[in-house]
Structure formats: structure tokens, C-alpha cells
């Protein structure tokens, strides 16, 4: 699953160090979209594409036709490179949910450094899972401080259901 819980040790157990400051959250949740094309796959894809374009050029090596075709092939490979890199950058999203006994914060860092912030009292925060009627199936939101915010929009339906149960358990532990 493209999310990870981090539970911060509180020092109650004998082998755990105390939390560094009183402002350290009790738990953190990091969510990110799944990446189907990692960097290594990107390099292989661009290399294979360039190689496939190079094979037909063998026929025209040493002729003026090569100089007529080569710029277009380079433009296509460069456009593929740019398009895939831009798509990867636009999908760079990180959501960080931090839980303290007295507050809950959600920070969403989106593409091109877009930041959104939400904060509420954990006692009043409600986790809501809309099986239907939302923009997607099993639409997951947090409601508190007069606002309802979406969390994990990029997760699959099953992941949002599992996450809603985990969020409800984590919030009930804080209360």
C-alpha cells in the first residue's frame, strides 16, 4: 500500500527512549500515489525507444536522407522524455497526517509545490467513508473544525476502506 504509519515512541516502555520534545506527534501517516514507472524503468523505456528509432536509420547512413529524418526522431524522443518527466512531476503528491493528543494536522504537498493545511481537535474529528455519492467509490474524508477534507484520493477503493478503519482506530486511541 502506498501509505505508511509511523508510531513515535513515548518512553513508556523500558527499551524506548522518551520523545524528543512535547511537540512530537504520537503518530504520523504518510500517503503517496503508486508509481507504475520507476526511474530505472524510465531509463530502459527511453533507451529502447531510441534504439527502435535507430534501426531504420542504419539504411540511410551516409546519405542526405539521414539529416532529413534525424531531427524528427530526436524531437519525438525528446518529447517522450519531457512528457514522462512532466507526468511524474505532476503526480508527486505527499499527504502527511500527524496525530497529537490535542490536535490533528493534515498537510498535502502537491505538484509544483502546492501546499494545503488542515488542523482540528482529535476529539471532534470524524472519519467518513462514502461508499457512493462521492467523486469516487469509497470516498474518504476527515471532518473537523468546520471543514471536511479529502484524504488518500489516489488510493484504490480497498485501500481507502482499510485506511478508514486504521484512522478510526488511531483517533479513538487519542481520545
Over residues 92-141, the pLDDT tens digits come to 889 999 999 889 999 999 887 789 999 999 999 999 999 988 888 889 99
- Are 108 and 148 in contact, with CB atoms under 8 Å apart? no
Average the pLDDT over each of 4-18, 25-39, 53-67, 120-134 and give the range with the smallest value: 4-18
pLDDT at 165: 92
Residue 1's pLDDT band (cuts 50, 70, 90) = low
pLDDT at residue 19 greater than cutoff 90: no
DSSP string, 91-120: T--EEEEEE-SS-EEEEEE-GGG-EEEEEE
Q: Which of 107, 131, 127 is nearest to 118 (CA)?
A: 107
DSSP character for 58?
A: G
Look at 173 and 99; give whichever has higher pLDDT: 99
Amino acid at each position: 500500500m502506498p501509505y505508511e504509519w509511523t508510531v513515535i515512541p513515548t518512553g513508556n516502555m523500558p527499551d524506548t527512549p522518551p520523545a524528543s520534545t512535547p511537540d512530537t506527534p504520537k503518530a504520523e501517516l504518510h500517503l503517496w500515489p503508486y508509481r507504475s514507472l520507476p526511474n530505472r524503468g524510465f531509463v530502459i523505456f527511453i533507451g529502447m525507444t531510441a534504439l527502435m528509432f535507430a534501426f531504420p536509420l542504419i539504411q540511410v547512413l551516409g546519405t542526405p536522407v539521414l539529416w532529413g529524418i534525424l531531427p524528427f526522431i530526436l524531437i519525438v524522443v525528446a518529447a517522450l522524455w519531457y512528457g514522462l518527466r512532466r507526468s511524474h512531476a505532476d503526480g508527486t503528491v505527499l499527504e502527511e497526517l500527524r496525530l497529537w493528543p490535542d490536535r490533528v494536522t493534515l498537510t498535502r504537498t502537491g505538484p509544483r509545490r502546492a501546499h494545503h493545511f488542515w488542523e482540528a481537535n482529535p476529539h471532534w474529528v470524524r472519519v467518513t467513508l462514502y461508499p457512493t455519492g462521492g467523486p469516487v467509490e469509497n470516498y474518504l474524508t476527515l471532518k473537523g473544525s468546520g471543514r471536511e477534507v479529502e484524504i488518500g484520493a489516489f488510493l484504490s477503493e480497498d485501500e481507502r476502506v482499510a485506511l478508514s478503519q486504521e484512522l478510526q482506530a488511531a483517533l479513538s486511541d487519542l481520545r
